Homo-oligomer: A and B are copies of this chain.
Amino acid sequence: MKITTPTLLIDKEKALRNISRMVEKARRNKVRLRPHFKTHQSVQVGEWFREFGVEAITVSSVRMARYFAYHGWRDILVAFPANVRELESINELASRIKLHLVAVNPETVTALAKGLQHPVQLSVKIDTGYHRTGIPATNYAELDALLKLIQGQEKLQFAGFVVHDGHTYKQTDAAAIHAIFNNSVTQLNQLRERYKADFPNLQRSLGDTPSCSIVEDLQGLEEIRPGNFVFYDLTQQHIGSCSFEDIAVCMACPVVAKHPDRGEIILYGGSVHFSKDVLLQQEDAPLFGRVVELTENGWSEPLEGIAVVSLSQEHGVVRASPEHFAKYNIGDLMYVLPVHSCLTADLRKATSPRKASRSSTCRACRSGS
């Protein structure tokens, strides 16, 4: 099928390799892999996980949980502070799947206890250093009170503690990521020691892709919830979670204008397609995407001397060396690795990966449509 508008291509072989590697790591460490599906939000990509034996998943909204429940997933964690305004949908879901929710505040627990008609698993979100949300791991008074409150509720089954170390996304040093991970596991272990008498089966669950990609020894956890690793992206490569060749998504964007005077090429492909995430690399200009070429079996590593340097709503501006500039004509497709695949996939979720028009053997086509 001919690509006419900005289109996300998925290299299925790379995605399967990324899944396989994480599944193996989880098996080796005897932890449950509960992958986050917000990255792809695709039933089809979900099936790739199922083939590896994955049965439990993570999502970030009740709406996404409903979508995957509708497509046969029966064990779903909504890894977001429970939104008590959605009790009706929560009840509907809890009536037919094993639903896991997350709480931070006692008010949430009270509202759930009052409104739930079916049992749900409830985890408490712990803040081990990211400081977005969650209870600090040593706020024992607060935690004691919250767990006691949960324990008294018929419809709430305390499942354990969930952590998301979003601060690993700011690192580019494997040692720093190991340190953050170890610090979190230490805090989770202390919590387990404190509460295991009352809750012998409590789970310690941790979620970020950098830690789950870089750390090999996952001792001290029962569950990991990485999401981005199925596709990876330029941000993860910059962090060190993956190499360029692990990046399994690429945007195909039509070339719509050329400016030889300043070596700039205008793509149909802007912030509504890519999100406005930017990669700020040392010594370099802000980066919104890197250009690759299709090869016989996928795409190349990023080219030097050509990159997406700015985005507006529908326009992508590419700065190119004279050699690269000369290669692209109006109406050609340019292939761009995204800075953040979660948002790119979310924004483009309506677009199925399609057979790339320039290469009949591109592996992207194997993902079907």
Pick from B125, B312, B314: contact of A166, CB under 8 Å: B312
User: Is the CB–CB distance between A343 and B272 below 8 Å?
Assistant: yes
User: Is the CB–CB distance between B107 and A317 below 8 Å?
Assistant: no
Chain A stretch 43-84: residues in CB contact (< 8 A) with chain B? 60-63, 80-84
With a cutoff of 8 Å between Cβ atoms, the chain B residues found around residue A62 in the complex are: 5
Taken together as a complex, chains A and B put the C-alpha atoms of A346 and B343 apart, in Å, by 14
A313 with B85, Cβ < 8 A, contacts A111-B330, A257-B133, A275-B271 known: no
Taken together as a complex, chains A and B put the C-alpha atoms of A347 and B89 apart, in Å, by 22
Q: Nearest Cβ distance between residue A337 and chain B, in whole angstroms?
A: 19
A85 with B166, Cβ < 8 A, contacts A256-B80, A272-B343 known: no
Taken together as a complex, chains A and B put the C-alpha atoms of A272 and B85 apart, in Å, by 19
Contact string against B for A residues 241-264, beta-carbon threshold 8 Å, 1 for contact and 0 otherwise: 000000000000010111101100
* Chain B minimum-CB-distance residue to A131: B262
User: Is the CB–CB distance between B277 and A107 below 8 Å?
Assistant: no
User: Is the CB–CB distance between A5 and B83 below 8 Å?
Assistant: yes
With a cutoff of 8 Å between Cβ atoms, the chain B residues found around residue A104 in the complex are: 256-259, 266
With a cutoff of 8 Å between Cβ atoms, the chain B residues found around residue A60 in the complex are: 313-314
Give chain A's interface residues, CB within 8 Å of chain B: 2-5, 38, 60-63, 80-86, 88-89, 104-105, 107-108, 111, 125, 131-133, 136, 166, 254, 256-259, 261-262, 266, 268, 271-272, 275-277, 312-315, 317, 329-331, 333, 342-343, 346-347
Sampled A-B contacts (10; CB under 8 Å): A60-B313, A61-B268, A80-B314, A81-B257, A85-B254, A105-B330, A111-B331, A131-B262, A166-B312, A276-B276
